[in-house]
Structure 1
Amino acid sequence: MGENQMMLRVETEGAVATITLARPKARNALSTAMMAALLEALGGIGEDIRCIVLAAEGPVFCAGHDLREITAHRADADEGAGFFAAAMEQCATLMQAIVNQPQPVIAAVQGMATAAGCQLVASCDLAIASTAARFCTPGVEIGLFCSTPAVALSRAVPRKAAMEMLLTAEPIGAEAARGLGLVNRVVAPERLAEDAASLAASIAARSGLAVRMGKRSFNAQIGLPLPAAYATAAATMTENLLAEDAAIGIGAFMEKRAPIWRHR
């Protein structure tokens, strides 16, 4: 097993894949190797998978960028400038890969998610959190504004709420995160894995084609002016209506029977 693969586990059950960050002693930090492993895992998800759960081991979901790695590169000839730029580019690629992943991605957050770890949660399509989960963008405490986490955070929660998190560095609990829209559901710690799996299974039971098209269209239209958003959505609806699954689903509904999806 390669070093990257040892940093996480990928398990499948039916049409659901679970990717688990597995470096609890390193607080599941997003080192360049961890980001490479996540990108590799996402890229290896097959078309037979219809939903993905992103989970983590230990008390911390993800502590953000690996500060030890960052500090080590200050000794580089360029004082780390090249490494820092490459690491931020890699992180942006990872977050966009989650958004552009054909399958919905659900974050199952068991503990603290800070800085780029909070960014990771905000980048997922859905999030379910344990009551023990906490969320924080604490960069200002170490003289480093969380500028890249702000990109995902500001797209997941209202503007002033994002700015408060970014400027104060104060952690918020799971219920507060739900109130802001950063997470969808809050559950008891002992129910997190089961409830995340149940949510993923319910999504995976739908037409894989419709879900893939819907995720793509949702993300394409969300930042567009209203006329362009409707044009984008209408084109997707037309394409979707011509698909085999739409004919199957509409026929099953009219005949009051369960559909048998072909996922095409």
Structure 2
Amino acid sequence: MAREDKDNMSETTLEPTDDENLKSCWVCFATEHDDKLAAWVQPCKCIGTTKWVHQSCLQRWVDEKQRGNISRKVLCPQCKVEYIVVFPSMGAFVILLDAIEDITRRISPFILGGVLLGSIYWIAITYGAVTVMQVVGHREGLEMMESADPLVLLVLLPTIPVTLIGAKMYNWEDSVLFFLRKYCAKIPALSYVLPFGHVDEERAIVSGPSPNNGSQNSTSHLSPTRIFCSALLTWVIRLCQSSCMSKLHS
């Protein structure tokens, strides 16, 4: 009886060791009896039932963690050991494609920025050339631009739309009116030429607008006086150009 009891005790002590040696995947929770052809790996320092995992399950789990970014580090959820994935060696053609893709990814933002800046610069040059032909005439404008230095045209033509847009955005007539009323009204000779009116009574108005008026002036940039002055400048430039050309021909 004592010998049988010892045999039973030995069998009971061997049973847990058999359960511990049984491979169980901690991803899909399948054992080696479920799929005998599956490849098993021990990728980290875990012990016990969590040290074994299917190779296919581990690869799928790592792919889910990386989300397409192969440079992202993936750690074991139990022992926090980093998984080092070794990819199979590819051919020279695949390596060349990877290098081209990496170079393209790096230079694409610079190419896009260059294309945008070049497009804006070309539009500014075209707008400046059209403005010159509208002011001095189509034939005269072409002749003037053909006779000019190309470098000068490349520098000056883009400044035309910038100047026009800046003149439209800046409320310059109020500044001129403020200067005339504040400083030029003190000169007696100019008081007979320019109608300054009662400067002393209007000094409070000229000194600074109220907050409500300031908000209204900021919203109404395209005032009628500005549009009139802009249209008048076109005729003044044409008149000066025609007088200069007539003197040159004479």
More helix by share: 2
More strand by share: 1
Interval of TM-score (by shorter of Structure 1 and Structure 2):
under 0.3
> Computing the radius of gyration over CA atoms, which structure comes out larger, 1 or 2?
2
- The two structures have a TM-score, normalised by structure 2, of 0.22
Larger RCO, structures 1/2 (Cα 8 Å, 6+ apart): 1
